[in-house]
A and B are shown apart, each in its own frame.
Chain A
């Protein structure tokens, strides 16, 4: 299942980080070069155009002067050689036409096809220069209405064309060179970028190699922070914290499993031993009877352990649904003390109850069980002749029960751990009778947490004190406030008693 999802993920992300960064890099470089190239190309083109227009303007100026001196149409016709020398010099492919307002061609010189084009266009008055391409040649043309000095005449249209084929060729060659340069540059930058990214990301690869090597036996070894770039340090430190939490849970889980195996092994070993010894020769029925009785005790111990473990496992998996009802803690405590009174008095331990709190909405039987675990725990450690004090208090929205007794202190380093499953302060010692397997406090904690409450323990100055605090009405916490989400069953259970509590 897991592999399936990983595969799909890999297929969804076909492009590597390196490739992505290289492409982005190459792309942005190409874009920058492209913009620069376009601007540059346009500038060059503009420059050429400007020069051509200046030149054309100069020629036009010269023609205007000349025409201003010609006082008859005839004199215009004879201007040809003069204009040829001054204007056409150096520009053999240029052409000039002067067309009168009535359409008569007063003057024309240059390449016939160009001249023809100019004459055709004379009707249109074009003050702006235009480019005109014919065959493989390109021309820039300006035309202007020029007043004639001939008396009584209308202005004539003067058109000049300048052959700009060479300029255009230069520009297009330049453009090609530019595109080629941009392409090559982008490619080179992409390649360089790829190399840079690969190099830059190499710590990431090292880190993933390190992470890849983390196995369950090495959960306690954090990823070394030395040599890791600052950008990745947060990630690694978060990962290390996760590793530490995993290590803790994993260690507890494996300790729990091995403790459980040990706990199971002891009664099974006892049973096998006594049963095999009993069967090894013929005995009288009294002896068989005793053996069976002894087996039964071990079996009961096993059964109880399994039941407790199942309860804890179900609680972990949100399968325990509290049956909420209005519960008076004072009444429950009184009932429990009445029950435990019998064993307490055997040991000259007095049970003292004090205080009161409003009723809570809780599973009465579960609370009974949680409190009885605290009480039997206290009974186990209270020295003869001293009291166990059970106090009920009320604080903001909470009702709490405190079980306090004098007796051996719990060392501070053990306090946070005593609610763990099978936790023993002295690993070699089993406290209490054989039925005590060390799940009682864990079950108490589990039950209280199912109700949205908290458990705590203090031990100082020869006095040990366990407190459970229950909300008067279990609140449905948002997910962010809880790691495990067992709110569903509680919410359902709560809504079923909603009418009752309001």
Chain B
């Protein structure tokens, strides 16, 4: 997966590229609008992360010219301006998502993966499996190492969500919005409590822990390496 990052702020660009590279993506970077547009028009990418405020040609213009040139890579807009108009404008111009600075890196990563996953039909699977943890979508049963685990309806939804996104660090805000439809940055510790309870059921009785807390970032469910 190859990602183009157009961002003029040096530190942001460096760390974005580093973060994306470490997350397993191949990245190209551009630090002004002209270079960015050139790369977007000549190279091929799976996704473009585009800052709005750029010297030379701004993000809107790049997006417009890309679309005019029939370059239809998905675009994720980064903006420091909290204007509803900006969001609407970005989506109207054909951006795929919009993220406001400052953002959580985990949030960005989750959204990038969501965009890249788009179009690939959610296979109508009957069950999800991570290591010895199984979640049966038709019978709504959860088992680990063959042992039945009793979960509430919400816990089932939560587990399904993090199993579908296995290996991804999921920020709290994303979990709140996807599982509870709560779309605000809550100052409560609801997600912590919910994850703690889920973990008590899924991991506590087993030596191999599947759910991990990445402090300050979010949660990840994955089978331990090796």
Complex Cα gap A303–B102 (Å): 7
Query: In the bound complex, do residue A339 and residue B182 qualify as a contact, i.e. CB atoms below 8 Å apart?
Result: yes
Min Cβ gap A156→B in Å is 109
In the bound complex, do residue B187 and residue A440 qualify as a contact, i.e. CB atoms below 8 Å apart? yes
The listed residue (A314, A343, A368) touching B184 by CB distance below 8 A is A368
In angstroms, Cα B215 to Cα A343, docked, is 20
CB contacts under 8 Å to B, within A286-322, are 292-293, 296-297, 299-300, 303-304, 306-307, 310-311, 314, 319-321
A218 to chain B, nearest CB (A): 37
Interface residues of A in 400-443 (CB under 8 A from B): 432-433, 435-436, 440
The proximity string for B residues 64-106 relative to A, scoring 1 for CB distances below 8 Å and 0 otherwise, is: 0000000000000000001110000000000000001010100
Q: Which of A21-52 contact B (CB under 8 A)?
A: none
A: interface residue count bin: 35 or more
State whether A365 touches B216 (Cβ < 8 A).
Answer: no
Does B186 lie at the interface of the complex (its beta carbon under 8 Å from any beta carbon of A)?
A: yes
B194 at the interface (CB under 8 A from A): yes
B176 within 8 A of A: yes
Give Cα A389 to B215, complex, Å.
34
In the complex, whether B164 has a CB less than 8 A from a CB of chain A is: no
Closest Cβ–Cβ distance, residue B47 to chain A (whole Å): 24
Contacts A340-B190, A435-B187, A436-B187 given; does A319 touch B182 at CB 8 Å: no
Task: Check A307 against B187 for contact (C-beta < 8 Å).
Answer: no
Indicate whether B25 reaches chain A with its CB closer than 8 angstroms: no
Closest to B191 in A: A342
- Which of B104, B154, B183, B186 has the most A CB atoms < 10 Å from its CB? B186
Q: Please, which residues of chain B bring their CB within 8 A of the CB of A296?
A: 215-217
Considering only CB atoms, which chain A residue lies closest to B84 in the complex? Answer: A321
- Contact partners of B140 in chain A: CB under 8 A: none
Interface status of B181 (Cβ within 8 A of chain A):
yes
Is A339 within 8 A of B84, CB to CB?
no
Residues of chain B from 125 to 181 with CB closer than 8 A to chain A in the complex = 154, 176, 180-181
Answer yes or no: A88 CB below 8 A from chain B CBs. no
Whether A307 pairs with B190 at a CB distance below 8 angstroms is no
User: What is the 8 Å Cβ interface bit string for chain B, positions 14-48, against chain A (1 contact, 0 not)?
Assistant: 00000000000000000000000000000000000
Name, among B83, B102, B154, B190, the residue most crowded by chain A CB atoms within 10 Å (CB to CB).
B190
B185 at the interface (CB under 8 A from A): yes
Residues B179-226 near A (CB distance < 8 A)? 180-190, 193-194, 197, 215-217
Name the one of B83, B184, B186, B216 contacting A293, with C-beta atoms under 8 angstroms. Answer: B216
A347-380 residues with Cβ-Cβ distance < 8 A to B are 365, 368-369, 372, 376, 379
Residues in B whose Cβ lies below 8 Å from that of A320: 84
- Alpha-carbon distance between A335 and B193 when the two chains are bound, in angstroms: 17
Name the A residues within 8 Å of B186 (CB-CB): 372, 376
| Top 10 A-B pairs, shortest CB-CB distance | A296-B216, A435-B187, A369-B184, A293-B215, A339-B180, A303-B102, A376-B188, A293-B216, A342-B193, A365-B183
12 contacts across the A-B interface (CB closer than 8 A):
A296-B215, A300-B104, A304-B185, A304-B187, A307-B82, A335-B181, A336-B182, A343-B188, A365-B183, A368-B184, A369-B183, A372-B188
- Give me the interface of A with B, judged by CB distance under 8 Å: 292-293, 296-297, 299-300, 303-304, 306-307, 310-311, 314, 319-321, 323, 335-336, 338-340, 342-343, 346, 365, 368-369, 372, 376, 379, 432-433, 435-436, 440
